[in-house]
Chains A and B, each alone.
Chain A
Amino acid sequence: MSNLLTIRGLKIEGRSDETWNPIINGVDLNLKKGEVLGLIGESGAGKSTIGLAAMGYTRDGVRISDGTVEFDGIDLVRASAAVKRGLLGKRIAYVAQSAAASFNPAHKIIDQHTEAPVQHGVDNRASSIEDGIELYRKLRLPNPDEIGFRYPHQVSGGQLQRAMTAMAMSCRPDLIIFDEPTTALDVTTQIEVLASIREIVEEFDTAAIYITHDLAVVAQMADTIKVLLRGDEVEEADTRTMLSAPKEDYTKSLWAVRAFERPAKPAVSTGAVPVVSVRNVTAAYGTTDVLHDVSFDIHAGRTVAVVGESGSGKSTTARCITGLLPPRIGEIAFDGEVLPADYRKRSKDQLRQAQMIYQMADTALNPRKTIGQIIGRPVQFYGGLTGSARRARVDELLEQIELEPSQYFNRLPSELSGGQKQRVGIARALAAEPKFIICDEVTSALDQLVAEGILRLLGDLQDKLGLSYMFITHDLATVKAIADEVVVMKDGKVIEQGPKLDMFTPPHHAYTDLLLSSVPEMDPDWLTNLLQERGVDNIGDAAVDKM
């Protein structure tokens, strides 16, 4: 059978600093009808750029400099705007990462759904609406007859992503490009979206390019996987071969990330005073309680992972501990001593002892300050060091986070990579010489290899300095890697807590079980097996709602 999409020697360049720099250096790609190709790689690998180029489109400041993109015999690189207009939306559709940002908030979902079929003359409005409702039903959206008549903000993230898939399907395209469609979703929501995308792509025999950085996800979706690194193809093979026997070292290193795990620590001696003790905390935003009677302890030199989905109250708990949100009931104790609820009433030393590392290193570091200033400020503020003593301490901290001091001292955050920025965030916390650090999703914005490096660094620092961590995360792989104890939260309540080993072995609380079973595994049959085991109506939000 001939190819639906053939890309040959595709070269793409982006413009920065007045010159054209290569982004993609000659990539080939074949896609047959009904086939799903997974594109995988770290950020900057050029996954999305290739995805867009497959539609003959490039972002502003980017151009296709060489190669051909042939879709069903039409060269999209050289095709006129009119020809492309006839194809895009009709025969080639695109599903973006953030459905919330891609839907126009001013129009109802169904109106956006019918736009493409009506514009392309595929269908009239009335029957297109009917078809939309039919697709919503197929994608198992709740209330399919009515959900399309809502505005995008009235629908949850996972449902919106499915509505977007339905929209892409509205003209029954031959090719759909999925650009990280589940990356922004919680695990339990992700699984529903994955299941429905896979089903509908199979049903209509649509070819798809599935772009993601998550290996386990792509293993469920794709027939073949292509691994990319900085604009070059590393290797391509069918999914099973790729998972079981990757050829290249880079692919192997990607696969190995998931194997990282810190050794278990001996149990805490009874009667030891915990470093941080959260006691019966109930907290509210305005008059609505968002935390209900939360209690747990964090012992010296231990890592407590707080796990839960978005909205479960993980970050709110951190805000209570730091004193940004004084609890309505309950208290926070540090080394057995009760802390003032409001951070403004805490002493400088109390503030120093508990530090925080943030999820988004971009917003956590002042973009107008050099690395030396960012790390030097707490050194000066708490330690009173100035001049060369301060410089020496900052250099020492930079060495601890494995950045060369002479090279990085005068740089601005914008001149660092994401992982390096996160390291600077760690150094700033360390500069205060704290006992306890809250890590708020510190690795979720990073590529897997970089994230692993950060986790290893945090582990080494814990061994060296005897730090205690509260590790907020939604990623169970991270929990497995680094936690000593686990606290599972849902709707502002602690559902279950205990040592890591107990948490990962059954029996679980029903919610913990759902959470654990929803994490995609590297086995290509995982999703199929899970759906058989649990049933299509007993996964994701539907299952959560039943609890």
Chain B
Amino acid sequence: MAGTETTPAPGTAEGDLAGLEAGLDALDAVQERRTPFGQVLLHKVLPPVTAVLLVLAVWKLLVVAGVTADYKLPDPSAVWHSLRGLWLDGTLLGIVWTSVSRGLLGFLAALAIGTPLGLLVARSAFVRAAIGPILSGLQSLPSVAWVPAAVIWLGITDSAMYAVILLGAVPSIANGLVSGIDQVPPLYLRAGRTMGATGARGAWHVLLPAALPGYIAGLKQGWAFSWRSLMAAELIASSPDLGLGLGQYLENARTDSDMPGVLLGILLILFVGIAIDLIVFSPLERRVLRSRGLAAAR
């Protein structure tokens, strides 16, 4: 017959049904809409920028009003000059990179240790009973507490820094994976088993992808812990041999009573922490959630 091979001719019972089905599909299908760029700018960028400007304005106001001595609360422009100075010296990027590379390397090591550890805790009842509570308890232990021990064991070295990062980040990553796996709907596992996804194939094709949202939340928290731990370690265990990172820069500024430098150090640490989250983890999380229909376009 004429070129309608997939859709039967209307009028026949079969054709009526195909038409009905097409109508149902069109009516029920979820329409997804991308937010226009202008709206993103208005709702996502404008509010934080306003907040930052407001903080700067209050700061400037306090300085002008002379609330406290200049060496305690310097003018915002003094902090800006410190930043400019570092940039013109050519040391700014070096300082930031020293810390960021340490943080990321430590985070990757924590990832490599925390992931199998999380899998083990999630899948083995014995291991879970043995170390599960310790692992969640460790998350509430500030990693600063590990610094003295790490320094005595490893000296003021890079190894001590990494040890502190690992002790802070590994529990977060492992716990994220455990809760991700615990929240996998049993229906997915049953469906997987009826299709023959058992054992390692079941873990690879069903369990791990289903646990991914919880895992990524754990990674996000793991990064925050890595960064915090590293800054604590750099502040306390600073030594010229280790190269100048953000923590050391902050500590040096304190010993020099250089308040603009101290504020700059704090702001840079905050900035790096936020930037890595915004560049790496938030897009990753949003992508995973959105592809599963879990995140409405907020």
Q: Do A and B bind each other?
A: no
Task: Spell out A's residues near B (CB within 8 Å).
Answer: none
Task: Spell out B's residues near A (CB within 8 Å).
Answer: none
